Amino acid sequence: MPSDRLQRFRDRLALPLIAAPMFLVSGVELMVAACRNGVIGSFPTANCRGAEQLDEWLTEIEARLRRHEDQAGRRAAPLCPNLIVHRSNARLEQDLAVLLRHKPEIVITSVGSPAPVLKPLHDAGALVLADVASIRHAERAAEAGADGLILLTAGAGGQTGWLNPFAFVRAVRAFYDGIIVLAGGISDGRALRAAEVLGCDLAYMGTKFIATRESMADERHKQMLVESSADDILLTTAFTGLQTSMLRPSIAAAGLDPDNLPARGAINITADIDVAARDSRPKRWRDIWSGGHSTSGVTDVLAVEDLVAQTIAEYREAGGR
């Protein structure tokens, strides 16, 4: 059964789906397109250069969605900023202040406990979804009062989880009756319907939204996803110090050997490639790209409208409402 906390949004969603927040990928155009088409749009506040640009982004997105609602005669899906709550985020207070002024309906917290930001966000009327990668972290976020848990599972793109999604969802559902969002491996509407049967209220779709016309991703990144499969995804700690799913071809293109990377510890990209390649100064995320196991489901670069329509058809064929 869907969590009661989501009932207020049900008639605004074409699918029980969130366009995952992706660093250097999720921007204004992707958010507007996702929300217009009935998918919750999420983006990392870190994609903005600072609090001033974050305010500009939110103002523009909100205005464009209001115009769409006036023209279409129906409300768009919610917008959902993603806030890094780890103490290393020097912008946390400034970004939080911007969000509180704009009063988003949903906020995702990442890389730490949501506890420090829960009260102000709740007071502003936001549901707070906390992403977690272990049972213990799920328990702690639930105890803190998170409205929902985003379960980062094996197969998610970028910084990922390691638990099997079947085991993780069922273990968390045994003690938690709030919103559960599955993150990792959702490549089509059939997989989305399976997530619901498993006990989830929503799911992330990330990799397929990278390969959309509206995403901010480099066009080479989009094409690489089309040409790659799940076999081309490498799980490594070499670039961030955390388990991260990266595209092997992008690692090789940067002058590195995907099969001979350090076991742990962020690579100094410009120091670890040969001298002749240093002028190009490749950087992780900008030149070394992420992708999830659902890369096998990326067959073309689509407009968001077409991706959502295709996913709706698949979802309904699988028995979704």
**pLDDT tens across the length of the chain (321 residues):** 456 778 889 899 999 999 999 999 999 999 999 999 999 999 999 999 999 999 999 999 999 999 999 999 999 999 999 999 998 899 999 999 999 999 999 999 999 999 999 999 999 999 999 999 999 999 999 999 999 999 999 999 988 999 999 999 999 999 999 999 999 999 999 999 999 999 999 999 999 999 999 999 999 999 999 999 999 999 998 888 888 999 999 999 988 999 998 776 555 443 343 434 444 445 655 788 999 999 999 999 999 999 999 999 999 999 998
What is the number of helices (H) and of strands (E) in the chain? 11, 11
111 secondary structure, DSSP code: S
pTM across the whole model: 0.92
54-62: list long-range contacts, CB under 8 Å, 24+ apart: 54/81, 54/95, 54/98, 55/98, 55/101, 55/102, 57/27, 57/28, 58/98, 58/99, 58/102, 58/104, 59/102, 60/28, 61/28, 61/31, 61/32, 61/35, 62/102
In the chain, domain spans: 4-214+300-317, 219-280
Range 4-214+300-317: architecture per CATH: Alpha-Beta Barrel (3.20)
- The three-state secondary structure class of 246 is strand
CA distances from 49 to 12, 26, 55, 294, 318 (A): 30, 13, 11, 30, 41
Q: What is the CA radius of gyration of the chain?
A: 19
**8 Å CB contact between 81 and 107:** yes
